[in-house]
Structure 1
Amino acid sequence: MSQFRFEKLDVWHKAIELAEAVYKVSANFPQREIYGLTSQIRRAVVSVSSNIAEGNGRPSNKEYIRFIEIAYASLMEVVSQLFIAQKLNFITEVQLVELKNQANDIARMLSGLRRSLQDR
């Protein structure tokens, strides 16, 4: 089975792993948050890998860079929401650190991808 180009990107795989992890921890958020923080953080984390993939399918580097920037912004949204979740005791400090470390790796990779696209 052939692969799409974005499937070859390590950053896309890392973003998928972060999405899986966020979905797992947010499954334990209070039911009253299903339309609040749970929904918001899940949409944001899915946006990271989605924008990497969509940008990769764009015809120009300028467009691709814009989608990488959107992915990065969504990632920052996720991190902010993780802090809120921890403050509300929906996740532990350990979970926050683990997820933040994953996000930090993705942020570095997105920045590197953006730089490489600008250099082309």
Structure 2
Amino acid sequence: METFKFEKLRIWHTSMDFGELIFEVSGKFPNDEKYNLISQIRRAADSIALNIAEGSTGQSNKEFRKFLGYSLRSLAEVVTCLHKAKRRKYMNEEEFTSFYKQAYSLMNSMGAFRSTLKTN
């Protein structure tokens, strides 16, 4: 079976897994955050993989790099939401640290991959 280019990328798979974990943990946030923090963190987490996929189908490495930049921005948004969740006591320090480490690792992987894409 044929696959899309992005389906071969480790960063896409990792971001898909990370998004599902964020979806799961955000489901434990209070109901009154449904249209605020829950929605925000889920959209940002999904956006990481979505931008990787969208960028990979572009016409150039320059465009792909641009979309990887969007993915990195979405990841930063997720990390900020995680800080908000910790401050609001929706997650404990151990949970926060686990997600933070995963986010940091994903950021490094995305940055390393992005640096391999030549723009000329």
Could you tell me the TM-score, scaled by structure 1's length?
0.96
Deviations 1:68-103 (A, max 9, x none): 000001000100110110110111111111111111
Q: Does 1:39 align with 2:39?
A: yes
Aligned to 2:8: 8
Aligned to 1:89: 89
Aligned to 2:113: 113
Q: Cα offset for 1:2?
A: 2.0
Aligned AA for 1:27? G
Q: Distance in 2 between matches of 1:69 and 1:93?
A: 28
Aligned AA for 2:18? L
Question: Which runs of 4 or more aligned residues in structure 1 lie more than 6 Å from their structure 2 counterparts after TM superposition?
Answer: none
CA RMSD, Structure 1 to Structure 2 (Å): 1.1
Aligned to 2:50: 50
2:61–2:119: 8 Å Cα contact kept in structure 1?
no
Structure 2's unaligned 5+ residue stretches are: none
Deviations 1:52-78 (A, max 9, x none): 010000011111000000000100010
Aligned to 1:74: 74
Aligned to 2:63: 63
Could you tell me the TM-score, scaled by structure 2's length?
0.96
Q: Distance in 2 between matches of 1:66 and 1:119?
A: 10
2:55–2:68: 8 Å Cα contact kept in structure 1?
yes
Aligned AA for 1:87? R
Q: Distance in 2 between matches of 1:86 and 1:100?
A: 11
Q: Cα offset for 1:118?
A: 3.0
Deviations 1:23-78 (A, max 9, x none): 11000111100000000000000000000010000011111000000000100010
